Structure 1
Amino acid sequence: MKTVVIYKSKTGFAKKYAKWIAEKLSADIFEFTKANINILENYDTVIYGGSLYAVSINGVKLITQNLDKLKDKKIVVFATGASPSREEVISEVRNKNFTLEQQKYIRFFYLRGGFDYSKLKIFDKILMTLLKWKIKSKKELTDDEKGMISMYDKPVDFTREENVDAIIDYINH
């Protein structure tokens, strides 16, 4: 079975997971800008990974807009984000990015990545600073909000190689 891994990563967390997955599956790997539907059609299994940006998976339209050409393949999409891996987070991301019809063909996984403010581009830094101010203006913060505020000053990396095991198991069965 021929497998390909495509990824789009802003700060490196999705790229790290994509490399681990490709190594474990002996798969080909491409950065998003080097991939297109013509390449994907040559594979039996297509794995796409992207970082989250306001609950949207970066670049996932490569998969969703070409699903009619990929339906006969095993399709996996994973997203990376700083939020803890909880069912409500996973459901929100899945339902925001995929219709119920698309979910029949796409197996979704959430892999906790991290956050490194220093690696963001200027536009993203501005947006994240606005978010930080919004969070700080609240009278009471949730534990997640407190954790998010602390990440601005000290980068965090929650990636773990074993986090890809569920994807590997799914592909191999």
Structure 2
Amino acid sequence: MKTIIIYKSKTGFVKKYAEWIAKDLLADIYEVSKVNVNTLTKYDAVIYGGSLHAVGINGVKFITRNIDKLMGKRVVVFASGASPSSEKVIKEVITRNFTSDQQKHIKFFYLQGGFNYNKLSSFDKVLMTLLKWNIKNKKKKKKELTSDEIGMLEVLDKPADFTRKSNIDEIVNYVNS
């Protein structure tokens, strides 16, 4: 099966996963800005990877806007974020990023990535600083923090990499099945 991997990575975790998947599937790999929808016509399987930000998949509109041109192909989208996988979050990501029709044609996977404040854009650093202040303020008021908020406080000041090559196994098996 001729496969292409397309990705958009802000801090490198999605790129790492995309490279591992491409190697295992002997697939072509491109950063999303280097391809257009016509590039995809010669492939049987299209895999898109993007980082997760507030349950939105970075750059996934490249796939969703062109889903009609991908009919008959195996379409996979994966997202990577710092939080551990949870069924609740995965359902929220799917419903926020894909219409019910798109969900019939797109197989979604979540791969835990990591967080590195130093690799963020200036705008994203401002947003993360505001989030940190918000969480610390909540903690100061003795309000209960969610596990995601506790985790974010832990990784905001030091890089964390939760990527594991074995995390791609489900995607590779799905494409090869």
Whether TM exceeds 0.5 here: the answer is yes
Distance, in Å, in 1 between the alignment partners of 2:51 and 2:148 is 19
Distance, in Å, in 2 between the alignment partners of 1:82 and 1:156 is 8
Partner residue in 1 for 2:2: 2
Matched residues, percent identical? 66
Q: How does 1:154-165 map to 2 (within 5 A)?
A: 154-165=158-169
For the Cα contact (< 8 Å) 1:83–1:89, is it kept in 2? no
Distance, in Å, in 2 between the alignment partners of 1:155 and 1:110 is 20
Q: How does 1:104-123 map to 2 (within 5 A)?
A: 104-123=104-123
For the Cα contact (< 8 Å) 2:83–2:112, is it kept in 1? yes
RMSD: 0.8
Shift of 1:54: 1.9
Deviations 1:112-149 (A, max 9, x none): 00000011110000001111111111123233311211
For residue 148 of structure 1, the aligned residue among 133, 147, 152 is 152
What amino acid is the match of 1:79? A
What amino acid is the match of 1:93? V
Q: SS where residue 145 of structure 1 aligns?
A: helix
Distance, in Å, in 2 between the alignment partners of 1:77 and 1:142 is 27
For the Cα contact (< 8 Å) 1:48–1:78, is it kept in 2? yes
Structure 1: 4+ residue segments shifted above 6 A: none
1:19 has 2:23 as partner: no
What amino acid is the match of 1:134? N
Q: Give the number of equivalent residue pairs.
A: 173
Q: How does 1:72-151 map to 2 (within 5 A)?
A: 72-138=72-138, 139=142, 140-151=144-155
For the Cα contact (< 8 Å) 2:83–2:151, is it kept in 1? no
For the Cα contact (< 8 Å) 1:3–1:25, is it kept in 2? yes
Distance, in Å, in 1 between the alignment partners of 2:166 and 2:149 is 26
State TM-score, norm by structure 2: 0.95
Instruction: Say which structure is richer in helix.
Output: 2
Partner residue in 2 for 1:48: 48
